[in-house]
Structure 1
Amino acid sequence: MINSIFKKKIIEFDKVGHIFRKLRKRKKIIHCHGVFDLVHPGHIRHFDHCKTKADILVVSLTPDMHIKKGTYRPLIPQQMRANNLAALELVDYVIIDKNKFPHDIIKKIKPHLFAKGMEYFLQKNPLTVKEKKIVESLGGKMIFTPGDFVLSSTKIISENKISLKYEKLKVLMDTEKINFNELKKIINSLKDIKIHVFGDTIIDTTHNCEAIGGLHKTPTLSILKRNSIDYLGGASIVSVHFKNLSKNVELTTLTGDDKKGRFARKELLKKKVSLNNINEHSRPTTNKNSYLVDRHKLLKVDELVNSTILDKTIDVIAEKINKEKNKLIVFSDFRHGFFNKFTAKKFVKAIDKSCFKVADSQVASRWGNILDFKGFDLISCTEKEARYSLFEQDLPIRTLADELLKKSKTKNLILKLGHKGLISLNKKRKDYIVLDPFVEKLVDSNGAGDALLAYSSATLFKTKSLIISSIIGTLAASCKCEIEGNIAVSIKQIEAKIDEIEKILK
């Protein structure tokens, strides 16, 4: 936890005017403003020079939501940036601004001096000109600190691989006032949740092969198949993840009257998932085949029918949804016939108001639209799916999350960023929850999104905390990445991961 002395330096935005109104009468105040994504020697020299000009150095920083320096910036979330600045002896007060530009915060502080780096003097930036006018209108003066040592956070970040996964986790745990033992207790408290999963069943078949050469007349690779392994996928493996944390899991899905369908039903029976299986005569079980050589994926071959399910099937599913009360309802969307624009509308309408609604889009070979599930308690999707849904290719990731939260009318959003982790957002909170994966040895990332969905949504249903659910979901996804094949994560594996992280942070 951040030192209490440092913590006292961080002032809430709404209290700034009152505090500095009194302080300004007794002390000379100098004010600096910036992103400070990565505090470097250039910043230290800037602060050091500022401190020689006044009694009190106050530093305000741009909030995450208004930073447009790059798609995944800032690297360091705003609370961590504030903590870093507060830990500096040179800095007396730190404020996380609420606005894109520091105009309002300058008016609240009314500093005697407002300081910027010399590069801003040389650039003749119109934003700097406006800041100067505001400062001078309040009786203050703008100064520029010497620019003999200039560094760029952007340049440092782009040229170096920087990992702050444990620091980000610790800040979030401190914010929520939760420890590692409490995380374990929460995971073990989910066993009585009643869950009903709806979606396509997929059988993921891995064919392990050996490269034996190529044909001379055509550029064709020749491989020898050594073995094949079937794994549950789609909504079926999602339901098994849920079964590992709860006693009460039901699945409504479609499987064909074929070998893969029989495998799916047998596995689900073995895992004690309550199964509502629907069979359509002309629809085979969706089967996705991956051909690997030394764990390198050479080719994917799908056997499936993507046409929409029959009208009578839609009615059966809608009726099952409508009968559920006070349950966690999970729509696991893979777009292989179960969900589309028309069925989603009917299924969403059928959900009783007493239920906790979750929708997840994990479309691999097709296009989905997470906006088909509006007004849910939680939605999750990948960055790519979010961009498809919003027709936005270039927005920074936090702005993208803001837009998706707004358009979807969801209460909570988890945006999956692959190897970059996740960013979560709550309708009532202005700050972003940013977490990196805790994968020590990547074995197989296939199915990580399923683990994230199950553990995060069950935790959110239980605790109503997006921070805690994002942490537990990330831990589950990280555990899955360290397992070969699409196999459900157990509570014991997550507890072991928690122990591993706790040792590192001690």
Structure 2
Amino acid sequence: MLAREKVISIEEMASIIESLRAHGKKVVHCHGVFDLLHIGHIRYFEQARRMGDVLVVTVTPDRFVDKGPHRPAFPEPLRVEGVASLECVDYAALNQWPTAEETLRLLQPNIYVKGSEFKNTKADLTGKIAREEKVVKEIGATLAFTEDLVFSSTNLINRYLSDYPEEIQQYLNLFRQRYSLQQVLDIIDNMTDLNVIVIGDTIIDEYQYCATIGISSKDPAIAVKYQSHDTFAGGVLAVANHVSNFVNRVYLVTVLGERDSYEDFIKSQLNHNIYPYYIYDQNASTIVKRRFVEGYSLIKLFEVYVMDGGSLSPEQEGEICNWLKKQLPQTDLAIAADFGHGAISKPIRNTLIRRAPFLAINTQANAGNRGFHTVSRYSHADFACIAEHEIRLETRDVNGKLRPMMEFLAQKLDCSQFIVTRGKKGCYIRGSSGDFVAVPSFGLRIVDRVGAGDAFLSMTALAAALKAPTEILGFLGNVMGALAVGVMGNRKSIDKQSVKNFIVSLLKEDRQ
């Protein structure tokens, strides 16, 4: 049978298996990504085939491959065809789900086979194998493991097919020599028990997708045709969602407009372990940043800010300050995601500075605040994270070297750890001992840069509170940023498992 004739749908596979089992045949099932088909896979399939009469293989779709934004290296049609081309494989199909759990329930094989590297389910970072084992028992099948040499597709791709330029591959080789994979992953796991307060401006990000249809006949203006729209929870809401994926509980403090509050939408978008504390501005609506986007290229045409530019009343400031004074002694970390739209006033800043056990800050320069909202509005921070254009605005220096600027601001803020993000150039970090480290960017596929800084802040603030080594701090931030730029706006928050999988894909050691 030709390889393409063996590629069938998952529904067809279920029907064939049912018929085979009715005729007394023993069906063996293998499942995986199979991104780079190698000798380890071939021997795995051959051993599995000897366990029964028929071998069927399901392949993870591209959209569910969570080994980092640079994977899979080969698209799903080629991966399925590659598997089907092997003589020992009888049928191959593209899976419809992220894991094999639902697949097993649908196919009902006699035996489900995994490689020997999965024998120790505790070593599986994803927890997928344990869940699949539970389903295998549920359907009355047998879970079996092959015994052979273990090769890593991830390592082979990193060594021979990496999309990263040579200088980044060299950097990763040096990073592996300085830090172990487990050391980096342990820092992420240790974030779980941190008690965190996130405070800042709520922003509703609205994307209006359009198709350009020409120039207006009346005015020299671009005419566009509406296609669709998305609404995302941005600003401090995005930061809170990111943080909540790494810790048990997050307290959120923010300001909503009393008219057009978007409160129901916000509640629907916040993760379940976020506990919000809202102050309502009677004279304002909740801030909306409406972006008009060309639907094919995803190029942003222009933005409309819906904001009243109001400020909190002294009573509202006092209410927030009193809440902070009560809660801050019970927390490990306060993150000020300050977008400069009034949610963090001077009295609130001073309360954070005096009372927070560890204060992490970001002061974003945007079109609604540029020129009067800079990091020096804070007299102290334990950790500060700003973009290069923001530090240059603060120091009024467009061409100078970053290191003297960072030294100056670190001393001015009495700030032990200071990061400047540089987009495609990565980030530059000043550590608590005065050391400076540069970490390159790991982003390859850029969909949208909006929200990447929020994701970077979320990760690095948590790591800084744990006193992570300077270089690991920047490494984790750039991993988070690389994942965030692959998402349109704040469509979804970056979860712990995606970060771990990406780190493994970057740092995985040779295994043979």
Q: For this structure pair, what is the TM-score category when the shorter chain's length is used for normalisation?
A: 0.5 to 0.7
Which residue identity is paired with 1:369? T
Give 1:360 shift: 0.9
- 1:447 has 2:451 as partner: yes
Separation of aligned partners in 2, 1:162 and 1:403: 33
1:491 and 2:496 correspond: yes
Match of 1:433 among 426, 437, 448: 437
CA shift for structure 1 position 269:
4.8
- Residue 299 of structure 2 corresponds to 296
User: Once the two structures are superposed, what CA deviation does each residue of 1:30-80 show, in whole Å capped at 9, x if it has no partner?
Assistant: xxxxxxxxxxxxxxxxxxxxxxxxxxxxxxxxxxxxxxxxxxxxxxxxxxx
In the alignment, which of 325, 328, 333 is matched to residue 328 of structure 1? 333
| 1:168-198 CA distance string (max 9 Å, x none) | 3443454xx4212332232122111100011
How far 1:319 moved relative to its partner? 1.4
The aligned residue for residue 227 of structure 2 is 226
The one-character-per-residue Cα deviations of 1:205-263 (angstroms, maximum 9, x if unpaired) are 01111112222342111111111111111111100000011111010001123455224
Q: Secondary structure at the match of 1:280?
A: strand
SS at match of 2:206: strand
Tell me the equivalent position of 2:361: 359
**Cα distance, 1:351 vs structure 2:** 1.5
Tell me if structure 2 keeps the 8 A contact 1:319–1:350: no
Post-superposition CA distance 1:67-106 (Å, at most 9, x none): xxxxxxxxxxxxxxxxxxxxxxxxxxxxxxxxxxxxxxxx
Q: What is the aligned partner in structure 1 of residue 423 from structure 2? A: 418
Cα pair distance change 1:312/1:163, threshold 3 Å: farther
Give the deviation of 1:316 after TM superposition. Answer: 1.3
CA positional deviation for 1:426: 1.9
Q: Take 1:264 and 1:433, find their aligned partners in 2: how far apart are those partners?
A: 41
| Structure 1 residues 454 and 503: alpha-carbon distance in aligned structure 2, compared to 1, 3 A threshold | same
Q: How far, CA to CA, are the matches of 2:219 and 2:166 in structure 1?
A: 45
Match of 1:376 among 361, 375, 381: 381
Conservation of the 8 A alpha-carbon contact between 2:283 and 2:310: no
Q: How many residues align?
A: 340
Could you say if the C-alpha distance between residues 319 and 344 of structure 1 is closer, same or farther in structure 2, counting changes exceeding 3 Å?
A: closer
Q: Give the RMSD, CA atoms, in angstroms.
A: 2.2
Distance 1:270 1:180, change over 3 A: closer
Contact 1:195–1:327 under 8 Å retained in 2: yes
Identify the residue that residue 121 of structure 1 maps to in structure 2.
none
Map 1:126-165 → 2, pairs under 5 A: 164-165=167-168
Matched, 1:307 2:310: yes
SS in 1 for 2:473: helix
Q: Residue type of the partner of 2:362?
A: D
Unaligned runs of 5+ in 2: 1-163
The answer to whether the 8 Å contact 1:416/1:422 transfers is yes
Give the match for residue 480 of structure 2.
476
CA contact under 8 A between 1:423 and 1:434: conserved in structure 2? Answer: yes
By how many angstroms is 1:488 displaced?
1.2
CA contact (8 A) 1:405 1:427 kept: no
- Asked whether the equivalents of residues 353 and 381 of structure 2 are also in contact (C-alpha less than 8 Å), the reply is no
User: Partners of 1:221 and 1:505 in 2: how far apart?
Assistant: 54
1:14-413 correspondence to structure 2 within 5 Å: 164-172=167-175, 174=177, 177-259=178-260, 261-293=262-294, 294=296, 295-323=298-326, 324-325=328-329, 326-340=331-345, 342-343=346-347, 345-352=349-356, 355-365=357-367, 366-367=369-370, 368-413=373-418
Contact 1:318-1:350 within 8 A present in 2 as well: no
Is the CA contact 2:317–2:348 (under 8 Å) kept in the aligned structure 1? no
Identity %: 20
Q: TM-score, normalised by structure 1?
A: 0.63
> CA contact under 8 A between 1:286 and 1:303: conserved in structure 2?
yes
CA displacement at 1:493 relative to structure 2:
1.3
Contact 1:206 1:290 in 2 (8 A): yes
Contact 2:424/2:443, CA 8 A, preserved across alignment: no
Quote the offset at 1:398 in angstroms. 2.1
Q: Deviations over 1:246-295 (max 9, x none)?
A: 11101000112345522443235554310001111112101000000120
**CA pair 173-423 structure 1, distance change in 2 beyond 3 A:** farther
Summarize the Cα distance change of 1:377–1:169 in structure 2 as closer, same or farther, 3 Å threshold: farther
TM-score normalised to the size of structure 2? 0.63
Q: Deviations over 1:391-417 (max 9, x none)?
A: 223311222222222222201001111
Query: How far did 1:384 drift?
Result: 1.6
**Higher RCO (Cα < 8 Å, 6 or more apart):** 2
**Corresponding position of 1:100:** none
Question: What is the rounded CA distance, in whole Å, between the counterparts of 2:166 and 2:208 in structure 1?
Answer: 35
Distance 1:292 1:441, change over 3 A: same
- Letter of the 2:268 partner, please give it: E
Distance in 2 (CA, whole Å) between partners of 1:473 and 1:417 is 12
Kept after mapping to 1: 8 A contact 2:325/2:355: yes
Match of 2:27 in 1: none
Whole-Å separation in 2 of the counterparts to 1:490 and 1:474: 15
Q: Distance in 2 between matches of 1:393 and 1:363?
A: 15
Contact 1:376 1:410 in 2 (8 A): yes
> How far off its partner does 1:505 sit?
8.7
Read off the aligned partner of 1:168 and give its amino acid letter.
Y
Q: Deviations over 1:434-469 (max 9, x none)?
A: 112111211111111111111111112124423222
* 1-structure distance, mates of 2:274, 2:486: 24
The reply on whether 1:457 has 2:461 as its aligned counterpart is yes
Q: Distance in 2 between matches of 1:358 and 1:331?
A: 6
Given that 2:288 and 2:306 are in contact with CA atoms closer than 8 Å, whether structure 1 keeps it comes out as: yes
Q: Mark the CA change 1:349 to 1:180 in structure 2 (over 3 Å): closer, same or farther.
A: closer
Q: 1:358 to 1:173 in 2, by over 3 A?
A: farther
What 5-or-longer segments of structure 1 have no aligned partner?
A: 1-160
Would the aligned equivalents of 1:443 and 1:481 in 2 still touch at CA under 8 Å?
yes
Is residue 322–residue 350 contact of structure 1 (8 Å, CA) maintained in 2? no
Aligned residue for 1:479, secondary structure, equals: helix
Aligned residue type for 1:360 = N
Matching residue's letter, 1:438 = F
Asked if the contact 1:169–1:471 (Cα under 8 Å) also holds between the matched residues in 2, the reply is no
Cα offset for 1:374?
Answer: 2.8
> 2:380 & 2:468 partners in 1: Cα distance?
16
Secondary structure at the counterpart of residue 321 of structure 2: helix
